[in-house]
């Protein structure tokens, strides 16, 4: 149903009908929140076993008492776990605090003010304005970090096999002020797409074009978050970079935030030993080290890569039906009007609405008690040039709430579209 | 024994005797570390009750699930605990992550780059070089933060009732580039002295001299760490500032690092609501919020101010004999040669050795297997102008280890002094 076949009169009566439907939905007084990628309480309960007694066993790895000071990069056991999670040797992994966002900020501010490779390499000494490539649609908190640090942001479009690599290579070749790029390579936020092997290999070559101070911020937040089937394969960027001789160009990030607890997990940063030694200097000024007790708690609970995989299957059993429900509603309600992604994992479904309607749909949905992520928030500066992208986050609401919320979203979309057509008819 | 009465020949033979004694101490092959203020395992075990099961009780304060995202300033219950600890209303308290050091760094870097009072107030726009007053001897990690952020550091001497306020007021009056001061007001690191009421009141007036962008970094790390008797009273700076109309001039810090666990506790930052709202902006870019599960763990374990007090008495019972032992050794061995502080609480004893001998004493002690905090580390840039201050940290070693380590320190001191006298005779 694209309204193309409707006469002007029919369009008017169709809009009136949708308005009526929408008023009825409003009257039901919903209060639902589909804004952020939060795990549901049921998912969180999967990890309540973290809070087991330690039975006095606080000493690890040859004498480190996790209750005391020391260990800027975290305990060896947690670094190993992070290495298994991210596919990187444990010596290259920092097991940090509770937020990979903090590690990202610390890494970038250190590179900006003190240099990715130490004295004489500080980005801020290279002139103004510095730029950062942002894959769009993407993750708003990434964009906020680079905006706050004073970078201009350059949009490059996400496609179903990864970002537009031609555009990235062209930008990097032509503009020496570009210092890095934000990526979520697997089950990308918000599309849910995974970068292809070809894309990963081109990322491994990027450092050769960009020079030694360029950094790929490879936020592998959803690396083990498969929902359907065998999931998507993702080539190992660190391996590819090591082969290409560009290991310094990549900074890999991840966390257990959506494995165990959101805000009480372990964050990881992995990079070459050269990068690590320069980052260490900045890090040591800002912290006495991470919460090692919580790291040990996690190691004992998750054990290893296999333990994580088994745990993630339990998550998938809870989350999968919710994704299926959202997708069923989209198919039933918006075929021909909008398009959407069908990810094999992750936390989001990305919907492309008719151009110029996203902000209206978010507003209308909000009026009917369904809070959506603000339109534009998947773009730098909150500005979606097409005003068309919407990020749906199915994990937190219950199945029943999804079945209540989706009709609101669908009707709001059809209503916004009908009104837009009316205005232009 | 100051060696003043010794003839040159006697001095030579005395040095020889001390050298022999010292060689014998070396031969015992000690390996002791008195460098940092770390709690002992026995102290840490006092808080093993933190790792209790939650019995599924993760929801606090009207619906917040501590296992999920949200809450940049921490849970209400933890902010209340921090307010009781620091003597500040809970609304003015951020309950943060595991390190007050990180909050200090974040506060200062936010003021430097974005401004203590928001747009138009960034310190870095006020010219170069910016300066920060450091009370000396003081805490090396404070100095490292301001050095790393590019501040020049100005030394002001600590006295037994607090820092030299005449000097501070003069500096602040004469030098508009001074943006703040580091203080540890109670059981100061390393002297163990507490600021008097008069000093606190003069700090409350300081903002009037210094202007609206000046900040007192009031690191109340040892506020409840009394070891002897009733402990030292400390006047409430926030109350005094509120009376004086200078509430924006103070940023109060503290943590449970030396109450529960070093590196796995809760850090607190308290300041005026104006400061809080500006700091919030910067903080929200860098983190998704603190570990709320660990905050709830702490609230359930410590309960409130009274709970903390009872807990700290158990610490005191463990630590007090160690301080007494160190002091006994000092009295028996260095009377007339050195002076030292006799704090009623905290983590350190500060020793003033004969001028020009501290580095030698640290080196000699190290050769005999007793690691001391590097000479100079209690001063900015690691430079003690008199080369005389040594910080002793009695908490971590056992009583037996203190009785082994102190003779090494005493003999090293006497030997260094004798050699110095010989050189100058």
Sorted by where each begins, the domain ranges of chain B are 8-43+308-424, 60-302
Mean per-residue pLDDT for A96-116?
97
When pLDDT is cut at 50, 70 and 90, the band that residue B408 belongs to is very high
CB contact under 8 A, A69 and B292: no
Q: Using one digit for the tens of pLDDT, what is the confidence trace for A250-307?
A: 999 999 999 999 999 999 999 999 999 999 999 999 999 999 999 999 999 999 999 9
Q: Which helix (H) or strand (E) holds B177?
A: none
When pLDDT is cut at 50, 70 and 90, the band that residue B2 belongs to is low
Structure confidence at residue A38 (pLDDT): 94
Structure confidence at residue B8 (pLDDT): 85
Interface A–B counts its CB contacts (< 8 A) at 148
CB A209 within 8 Å of CB A245: no
Contact residues on chain B for A47, CB-CB shorter than 8 A: 67
Q: So what's the architecture of A8-43+308-424 in CATH?
A: Alpha-Beta Complex (3.90)
Tell me, what's the ipTM?
0.96
Domain B60-302: which CATH class? alpha beta
Instruction: Examine the pLDDT at B71 and tell me if it is beyond 80.
Output: yes
Q: Using one digit for the tens of pLDDT, what is the confidence trace for A121-154?
A: 999 999 999 999 999 999 999 999 999 999 999 9
Tokens of B395: 């908490």
Structure confidence at residue B424 (pLDDT): 85
**How far apart (Å, rounded) are the C-alpha atoms in residues B109 and B180?**
13
Structure confidence at residue A142 (pLDDT): 98
Average pLDDT over chain B, rounded to an integer: 96
Report pTM: 0.96
CB B339 within 8 Å of CB B352: yes
- Asked if A176 reaches chain B (Cβ–Cβ under 8 Å), the answer is no
CB contact under 8 A, B51 and A47: no
CB B4 within 8 Å of CB B361: no
CB contact under 8 A, A97 and B101: no
Query: In the CATH scheme, what is the code of domain A60-303?
Result: 3.40.640.10
Residues 110-169, chain B, touching A (beta carbon < 8 A): 141, 144-145, 148
Range A186-219 burial, b when 16+ CB lie within 10 A, else e:
bbbbbbbbbbbeebbbbbbbbbebbeebbbbbbb
Instruction: Examine the pLDDT at B18 and tell me if it is beyond 90.
Output: yes
Task: Suggest the residue from A36, A44, A104, A286 to mutate for an interface test with chain B (most B CBs closer than 10 A).
Answer: A286
- Asked if B13 reaches chain A (Cβ–Cβ under 8 Å), the answer is no
Instruction: Examine the pLDDT at A394 and tell me if it is beyond 70.
Output: yes
Structure confidence at residue A137 (pLDDT): 98
Partner residue facing A51 (CB), from B54, B101, B141: B54
Mean per-residue pLDDT for A163-170?
98
- Asked if A366 reaches chain B (Cβ–Cβ under 8 Å), the answer is no
When pLDDT is cut at 50, 70 and 90, the band that residue A33 belongs to is confident
Residue of B nearest to A39 (CA): B68
Same topology, domains A8-43+308-424 and A60-303? Answer is no
Portion of chain A with pLDDT greater than 90, in percent:
95
CB A156 within 8 Å of CB A171: yes
Contact residues on chain B for A286, CB-CB shorter than 8 A: 101-102, 105-106, 145
B363 Cβ contact partners less than 8 Å away, ≥ 6 residues apart: none
**Which residues are registered as beta bridge partners of B255?**
B267
Structure confidence at residue B62 (pLDDT): 78
CA A368 to the chain's CA centroid: 28
């Amino acid at each position: 149903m694209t309204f193309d076949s409707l006469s002007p009169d029919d369009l008017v009566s169709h809009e009136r009908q949708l308005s009526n439907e929408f008023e009825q939905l409003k009257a039901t007084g919903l209060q639902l929140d589909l804004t952020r990628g939060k795990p549901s309480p049921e998912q969180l309960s999967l990890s309540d076993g973290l809070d087991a007694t330690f039975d006095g066993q606080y000493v690890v790895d040859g004498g480190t008492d996790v209750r005391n000071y020391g260990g800027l990069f975290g305990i060896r056991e947690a670094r190993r776990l992070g290495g298994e999670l991210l596919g990187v040797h444990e010596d290259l992994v920092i097991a940090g605090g509770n937020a990979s966002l903090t590690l990202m900020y610390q890494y970038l501010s250190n590179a900006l003010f003190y240099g990715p490779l130490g004295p004489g390499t500080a980005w801020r000494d290279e002139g103004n304005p510095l730029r950062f490539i942002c894959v769009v649609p993407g993750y708003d908190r990434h964009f906020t970090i680079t905006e706050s640090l004073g970078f201009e942001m350059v949009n490059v479009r996400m496609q179903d096999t990864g970002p537009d690599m031609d555009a990235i290579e062209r930008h990097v070749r032509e503009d020496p002020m570009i210092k890095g790029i934000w990526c979520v390579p697997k089950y990308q936020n918000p599309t849910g797409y995974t970068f292809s092997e070809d894309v990963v290999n081109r990322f491994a070559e990027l450092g050769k074009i960009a020079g030694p101070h360029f950094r790929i911020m490879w936020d592998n937040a959803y690396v083990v978050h498969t929902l359907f089937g065998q999931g998507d394969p993702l080539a190992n960027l660190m391996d590819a970079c090591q082969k290409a001789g560009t290991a310094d160009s990549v900074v890999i990030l991840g966390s257990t935030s959506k494995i165990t607890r959101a805000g009480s997990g372990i964050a990881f940063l992995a990079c070459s030993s050269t990068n690590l030694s320069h980052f260490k200097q900045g890090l040591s000024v800002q912290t006495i080290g991470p919460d090692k007790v919580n790291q040990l708690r996690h190691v004992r609970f998750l054990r290893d890569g296999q333990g994580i995989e088994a745990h993630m299957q339990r998550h998938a059993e809870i989350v999968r039906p919710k994704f299926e429900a959202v997708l069923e509603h989209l198919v039933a309600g918006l075929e021909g009007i909008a398009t959407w992604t069908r990810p094999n994992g992750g936390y989001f479904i990305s919907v492309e609405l008719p151009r110029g309607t996203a902000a209206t749909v978010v507003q209308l949905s909000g009026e009917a008690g369904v809070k959506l992520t603000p339109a534009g928030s998947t773009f730098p500066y909150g500005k979606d040039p097409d005003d068309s992208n919407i990020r749906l986050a199915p994990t937190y609401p219950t199945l029943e709430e999804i079945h209540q919320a989706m009709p609101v979203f669908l009707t709001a979309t059809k209503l916004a579209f009908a009104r837009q057509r009316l205005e232009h008819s």
